[in-house]
Amino acid sequence: MKHLSQEDLVLHYYAEGGAKISEHIGECPECHANFEQLSRSLSAISLPEPPLRGENYGAEVWNGIRPKLAERSTAAWWWMFPRRSVAVAAVALLIVMAFVAGRYSKRPPVNPPREATNKGQLPQKVLVVALGDYLDRSEMLLVEVAHANRPEDLDLNTQRRYAHELVASNRLYRQTAQRVGDVETGALLDQLERVLLQVEHAPQSATAADIQQLREEIDSGALLFKIRVVQVHMKAEAKSGNRAGNVEDPNTLQDQRPIL
């Protein structure tokens, strides 16, 4: 019988040896004894616990590095959008863009676009760039829910999990919207979060009435429509490299029906 090498024994100790090694150790007294000896040596070694850090250690580290963080360029923003999301959203966006183009051809913008050198542009652009993927994912979830007529039309467990993830990110985006003074986007995110929370906490065995309530919540605030309007604006602004700062308040658009 060919005995196991030390390397085999080490792999087995670290649970990476596989079934054959395990079987051999169970059957071969000599290898079993060697393994026991190895185990005694390795299991006896422990590292001392690192010294404890204070409660504010993370904040201290942040204060230490904050001045050293350079400004980041936002020039390559489009690479951040997952290509699949872009492809999936492209068709829907074309429809919405046509719709929005129609709206804007009827009246001039309320305010003239700001100059590209406007100092207020960068922080808003930050939000524009970061929000793209988030709104894409939120839109997909809302579309799934809005299209469900019965509980069996909807994989609620999956949607609840997605909603859970989206809620986690929402707070960060809202904070950024507040920081840059983007009231409209903040309000949209606030409204979106309320719906996402309802989806996240939808009962395990949702009834048709539960699903209907979710749909009504989405419809009543024209949430999908608002998201699409913001997406269109964002992409147009990103393309032109200029955020006009006059994005219409989505709340004023409630006379328009969602595309779906």
Partner 1 sequence: MDKMESFDAAAVALVRAGDRDAFRPIVERYSEMLFRLAYRITGNEADAEEIVQETFLRAYRKLDSFDGRSSVSTWLFRIATNCSLDQLNRRKVQPQALAMDPEGDETPPGERVRSEQPNPERLAYNAEMQANIHAALQSLSNVERTAFVLRHVEGCSIEEIAATLRVRSGTARQSLFRAVEKVRKFLAPVMRPAG
Binding stretches for partner 1 (CB under 8 A): 6-7, 10-11, 14, 16, 36-51, 53, 57-59, 61-62, 64-66, 68-74, 76-77, 79-80, 122-123, 125-130, 133-134, 164-169, 171-173, 176, 179
Q: Which is nearer to partner 1, 47 or 91 (CB)?
A: 47
Between 8 and 217, CB nearer to partner 1: 8
Q: At CA 158, angle to CA 135 and CA 189, rounded to 5? A: 25
Give the residue with the Cβ less far from partner 1, 73 or 105: 73
- Work out how close the CB of 58 gets to partner 1 at its nearest, in angstroms, rounded to a whole number: 3
In terms of Cα–Cα distance, which of 187, 179, 181, 196 is closest to 251? 187
CA distances from 188 to 140, 164, 176, 184, 254 (A): 16, 18, 13, 6, 13
Nearer to partner 1, 79 or 252 (CB): 79
- Full 3-state SS string of 67-117: HHCCCCCCCCHHHHCCHHHHHHHHHHHHHHHHHHHHHHCCCCCCCCCCCCC
Q: Which two tokens stand for residue 61?
A: 């580290």
* Least distance from partner 1 to the Cβ atom of residue 125, Å: 7
Shortest Cβ distance from residue 11 to partner 1 (Å)?
8
Q: Least distance to partner 1 from the beta carbon of 216, Å?
A: 27
Residues 211, 148 contacting (CB under 8 angstroms): yes
Least distance in Å: CB of 243 to partner 1?
A: 12
Residue closer to partner 1 by CB (options 38, 86) is 38
CA 130 – CA 119 distance, rounded (Å): 19
